[in-house]
Amino acid sequence: MTGIFIANTDAEIESCFPVFSVLRPHLKEEDFVPQVRRQQAQGYRILALEDEGVVKSVAGFRLAEFLAWGKVLYVDDLSTLPGETSKGFAGSLLDWLIDHAKSSGCNGIHLDTGYARHAAHRLYLRKGLQFNCHHLALEF
């Protein structure tokens, strides 16, 4: 059985940690739920795909409004467990996110992606996303 759901309870959020830790290895399990709860206060939500009783793919997202783009659905995180890629899980999440963005009156979907994430880039391009900017950061 495969199902897509918004992770709302602490247990649902915790069940997503193994998938998030693939993309964000700096995260600590004991800090994960409190971090998500803080981000939820800023509009962040977790979309999860469960298959055979295990969360296999996740997307962290928020609706936001920007002078540059107007109202968009911004994808903070998109990750799938190793060994579970190329099964359509992340694509199913992206389809859900696209539909949600349209039904929420968004002008589009935006995300940042690492330069070396070639498999992810292929998925994004298949779904119609385009490379149209560079993201720059100054970290402290």
- Specify the pTM: 0.86
Instruction: Concatenate the DSSP letters of all residues of 34-102 into one string.
Output: HHHHHHHTTT-EEEEEEETTEEEEEEEEEEEEETTTEEEEEEEEEEE-TT-TTSSHHHHHHHHHHHHHH
- pLDDT (tens, 9 = 90+) of the chain, 140 residues, equals 469 999 999 999 999 999 999 999 999 999 999 999 999 999 999 999 999 999 999 999 999 999 989 999 999 999 999 999 889 999 999 999 999 999 999 999 988 776 666 566 666 677 677 777 766 676 78
Superfamily of domain 2-126: Gcn5-related N-acetyltransferase (GNAT) (3.40.630.30)
